[in-house]
Amino acid sequence: MTRGRPELHPMRSPHDFEVIRDPLWNTIRLDATALRIIDTPEFQRLRHIRQLGLAYLVYPGATHTRFDHALGVCHLARQALALLGERGDLEGGPRGLPLHPLCGAPPRHRPLPLFPCSGRAERPAASGDARSAHRALPAADGIRRALESVAPDAPARVEDLVRGRSASPLQGLVSGSLDLDKIEYLRRDAMFCGVPYGEVDADRLIHAFALVPDPATGKVEIGIHEKGLSALESLLFPCSSPAWCGMHWTPT
């Protein structure tokens, strides 16, 4: 080392991470795996699918896309995992598989699934289920390859999460009362539609996430600390308010 001159670490490759601006969450940091997924044609296609379909004919601002929403979910997933990790909740539990591949899971509005979502999403008809399941991940070759770069079994594990059949305690972040998709679209759709009723306290809610053992079965799942109850109410209220229903059920 040259005396008197501070040693500089080599600059990280721009492919290691990316920081982008978002009108809702301000700054979203994407790591290398997320970037690999985002750079696939399957994910880029989401730029051209409006989050609320034809609702822009009624709410002119509702031109935001599934791409924006997916990046937002990615941001929340990263935040939630970081907080759970910081508290030590993830130690000894399922590790390694980042949830950010689920950024690609499109929401509920129309049957254009990259990964058919569990939970709120429209499920394929029983007769077509096997065919849909067959084509879900294999059809998204770029995403499969990006996931395989994380771990060979990552595509299968992600598919289990998306379909709601994973044994992971983190399943609840993907589908359930506290799923990050819901938290994100409630905020984003309200913002872009100009219907600011029932602000979701996402930050407080995510800070209250905890991995909790079910007293009945002992199975650990994502839950919420009592301190986050008010924030939970902020999530439940918009889901049931006339304003929200008007926005999401506007028949166009």
223 is an interface residue for other proteins by CB under 8 A: yes
- How far apart CA 153 and CA 6 sit, in angstroms, is 43
User: Which of 15, 20, 23, 57 touches other proteins by CB under 8 A?
Assistant: 57
Tokens standing for 135? 């084509």
Q: In the complex with other proteins, which residue's Cβ is closer, 99 or 150? A: 99
192 is an interface residue for other proteins by CB under 8 A: no
The answer to whether residues 106 and 162 touch, using CB atoms and an 8 Å cutoff, is no
Task: For residue 98, give Cα distances in angstroms to 37, 79, 200.
Answer: 12, 12, 25
Among 201, 109, 115, smallest CA distance to 160 is for 115
**Which H or E run includes 186?**
helix 180-193
- How far apart CA 110 and CA 174 sit, in angstroms, is 18
216 is an interface residue for other proteins by CB under 8 A: yes
Dihedral of CA 39/42/47/52: which sign? negative
- How far apart CA 185 and CA 183 sit, in angstroms, is 6
Query: Phi/psi of residue 44, each to 5°?
Result: -60, -30
Per CB under 8 A, which of residues 157..176 are in contact with other proteins? 172, 176
Nearest-approach distance from CB 227 to other proteins, in angstroms: 8
User: Which of 15, 22, 54, 165 touches other proteins by CB under 8 A?
Assistant: 54
User: Which of 2, 27, 127, 240 touches other proteins by CB under 8 A?
Assistant: 240
27 is an interface residue for other proteins by CB under 8 A: no
Segment lying near other proteins (by CB under 8 A), choices 77-85, 93-101, 142-150, 215-223: 215-223
178 is an interface residue for other proteins by CB under 8 A: yes
DSSP states of 126-160 as a string?
A: HHHHHHHHHHHHHH-HHHHHHHHTT-TTHHHHHHH
Segment lying near other proteins (by CB under 8 A), choices 17-25, 27-35, 74-82, 234-242: 234-242
Site residues (CB under 8 A) for other proteins? 45, 48-50, 53-54, 57-58, 111-113, 139, 172, 176-178, 210, 212-216, 221-227, 229, 232-233, 236-237, 239-242, 244-246, 249, 251-252
